[in-house]
Amino acid sequence: MKSTDTEEYSYDAVNKFNIYPEQIPPRLVEFMPSKGGYLIGNLQLARMGFHFFSLGNLWSIVSSLATAEQSHAILDLIEAKWAGLVADMPFKICYPAIDGQA
């Protein structure tokens, strides 16, 4: 199925989140550590935001919306990417920064 086809919305949908390989940015492959992961955001209807949104991911842990396995994956990603997400500054809200987008 290509992104131009009809989107699916149901519990038995083949592609529940309507994410297609051609939508995944190449920078994500370099960003993702071998151990870890995160919950992606939704920038607008049927358009996933593959940025790391720290507030949403951390809130999913604190509020128990993420499973224990998902929580560990998020924290593993933060630990693996500490230099880019924290470095010498406060924890970044969004990584990489959304620049020039409305």
C-alpha closest to that of 40 among 24, 32, 52, 54: 52
pLDDT at 45: 63
Using the 8-state DSSP alphabet, how is residue 6 labeled?
Answer: P
The reported pTM is 0.71
Let me know the angle formed at the C-alpha of 39 by 60 and 16, rounded to the nearest 5 degrees: 115
Which stretches in the chain have pLDDT values below 70? Answer: 1-9, 17, 43-47, 100-102
What tens digit of pLDDT does each residue of 69-80 get?
Answer: 999 999 999 999
